[in-house]
A and B are shown apart, each in its own frame.
Chain A
Amino acid sequence: MNKNSKPILEVRDLRQFFPIQEGFLRRTIGYVKAVNGISLTINEGETLGLVGESGCGKSTLGCTILRLYEPTGGEVILHDGDEQLSVFELSHHEMRQVRANMQMIFQDPFASLNERMTVLDNVIEPLVCNDIGTNQEREAKAENLLMQVGLQKEHLRRYPHSFSGGQRQRIGIARALSIEPKFIVADEPVFALDVSVQAQILNLMQELQAEFGLSYLFISHDMAVIRYVSDRIAVMYVGELVEYAERDELLHHPAHPYTEALHSAVPRLTQRGRRNRIILEGTPPDPSDLPPGCVFQTRCRYAEAKCKEEVPELREISDGHFVACHLAEELNLVGIQS
């Protein structure tokens, strides 16, 4: 990890529980613990890849950081220059400063644009909502952005229904960039796209990152995509972080059995890696009814008695490499052979 880099966003012990209500009086009978105590830091100009299987709370984490859901607990600190903003304590009005620094790119380009508004109106919506610029300035900005994301300015007057998935995702990116944020949550931005288009969008995002000095929290369930874009990788499992390290460190020296299993699931062109493919048995635990001890204990092939009783803390096992596993030092896990 580059020690000199300044953090832009710190997440501390973030929790997002959704109540389960039942009966006529809406009594709360339990909680779905979608995000259960997550802490991480994102530095200026870097991409943090967040990987995990479907339903593990990745998207919820992204939305909660932007305060699209009201969080249950924890803290998100946004660094704006030398100023530190605690996102969850701000009033509606003060959130503007946060919006100007944090935006989101959504998963499904067919659902994330307002079909009733032209491309122009979609792209400048953040500017309109935050009273930035005059109409002419906004339009000029939208024109520039559209060219930067690889569309033409003639497209401004069209409606979203006339664009393909990849083009729509470019519009979504232009919208996120219109307010000139420093930090962007990209929630599976290539999930709904063809593989060839995926590469285009990923490259575009990297170009824009270099140009505007953006930081990304890049959420995906696809290890191959995460590997391609990330500087550091965080692995999430049922609402918790299980491992968190520099990309190469995590790829070659995984310390958590779940990370190892994820690596082995990446498709390969040769048959060589097939031999030691790890198949996880069963399904992830219900986030409203977590097992005692380690969250991964029910599916872990290395699990011992200790794992079923004690919750492993996220601890640093080497420089910048965090893992939540009792056996991290004892296991010799297989990473990606390069």
Chain B
Amino acid sequence: MNQTPIHAFFSRIASGYIRWRETRAKRLQESLYYASQRKLVWHAFNRHKLARISLVFLAILYFVSVFADFFAPFGPLKRFKDFNDAPPTSIHLIKADGRLSRPHIYETKRELNTDTFKYRYSEDRSKPHSIRFIVRTEPYKLLGFIPMQHKLFGLENRQVPLLLFGSDRLGRDVFSRILFAGRISLFIGFGGVLVAFILGSILGGISGYYGGVVDEAIQRVIEVLISVPDIPIWIALSAALPRDWGTINIYFAITLILSVRGWTGLARVVRGRIISLREEEFALAAKAAGASDRRIIFKHLLPAFSSYLIVHMTLAIPGMILGETALSFLGLGIRPPAVSWGTLLQEAQDVNVLANFPWMLIPALFVVGAILMFNFVGDGLRDAADPYSSSR
């Protein structure tokens, strides 16, 4: 084959590229030798696009909730007089004179329509207020101990309401309340799953490793617990909580109530895996090495299926969030003045809200969104959990 200089040039580029890819693949392969199980799972998880995006969004959601003091323009209990059930404030980009400008709003006024006896809100175009980022506000303490004076965004005039998602019956900003509510709703899942994880892995581990009478007893308890429907047992337990308990007490009590059933599923997973793994050679090898029972369970057996546990836990968190929402919705969970997504939705219970103030239902979108994202992340983790089985 006769080669023109152009041919030679391109073939050199091509062969250089191939060599570059080969060395890169080789380096990747070598780094794989030193990769722990955790790294392999992470590697596989990263290829699951939906799960990765969901994880990022969840992280943002959690971050914003934790630092709600900074991200929310108002406190959860701040009331705007004469702005009961106000619709979301519209944000404008074009000034009255037709020029593009920074985002701004107009002051709104409320007037009663004497025909329908409904309030109407109208914009007063003569009084624009531009939205500023890192705006100076009244002093507050971030996370309860870091003194701060700024919020992420807001108006210079603190008395003019900026209601991204409208306001509720008492004139409180729904957007701010959603962020603050996330603190309780998002973390109650973690707390519940953590308690469930500890109970489940200890009881499931004992049940699976020792078998016999202990196993029988634990399994019967689990069967009794899961044969009682969720909602009645939650209602019964939370109805028993004293009315005069503080928010913190109620929070932990609800967490415990949610995990009463949560651990049973996990305990069964752990038991099943332990039974199948304890006769495996690596468990026998650990025993021959002289490892104690505790070391065999927690150092050799549990890590061997930790990825399954993490998947199970990730998929259990949405259940906990839904449980809290359901309880609070029924008025049995978190109680006002504390806010959770459930209590926000409780306020949106009547038909009037659906017909006239649909923005009060926005918290439901957050519940649905958070749960969907947890499920996507769980799916991604499940696929990634066994890097040995998938094609590498």
Contacts and interface: CB of A to CB of B under 8 A. Distances in A.
Interface string B303-330: 1101000000000000000000000000
B289 A129 contact: yes
Nearest to B392: A161
A157 interface: yes
Given A106-B281, A106-B284, A129-B295, A116 B289 contact: no
Given A95-B290, A175-B289, A161 B388 contact: yes
Interface stretch (B31-39, B87-95, B252-260): B31-39
Contacts of B42: none
Interface string B23-47: 0000000001111110010000000
A97 B280 CA distance: 25
A114 B300 contact: yes
A111 B388 contact: no
A125 interface: yes
Interface string B278-295: 001110111111111001
Given A95-B290, A125-B289, A129-B292, A114 B282 contact: yes
B36 A126 contact: no
B290 A96 contact: yes
A162 B304 CA distance: 17
Contact of B282 (A66, A95, A112): A112
| B216, B286, B388 pick with most chain A CB within 10 angstroms | B286
A150 to B, nearest CB: 17
Could you say which interface size class chain A belongs to? 20 to 34
Interface in A119-159: 125-126, 129-130, 157-159
B291 A111 contact: no
B304 A66 contact: no
A66 B281 CA distance: 14
A92 B300 CA distance: 19
Contacts of A111: 280-282
Contacts of A305: none
Interface of B: 32-37, 40, 216, 280-282, 284-292, 295, 300, 303-304, 306, 388
Given A103-B288, A157-B34, A162-B32, 11 more contacts: A68-B284, A95-B290, A106-B285, A114-B285, A115-B37, A116-B304, A125-B285, A125-B291, A159-B35, A159-B37, A161-B388
Interface of A: 26, 63, 66, 68, 92, 95-96, 99, 103-104, 106-108, 111-116, 118, 125-126, 129-130, 157-159, 161-162, 172, 175, 179
21 contacts: A66-B288, A95-B290, A96-B290, A99-B288, A99-B289, A106-B285, A107-B281, A108-B281, A111-B280, A112-B284, A114-B285, A114-B303, A115-B37, A116-B306, A125-B291, A129-B291, A130-B289, A158-B33, A159-B33, A161-B40, A161-B388
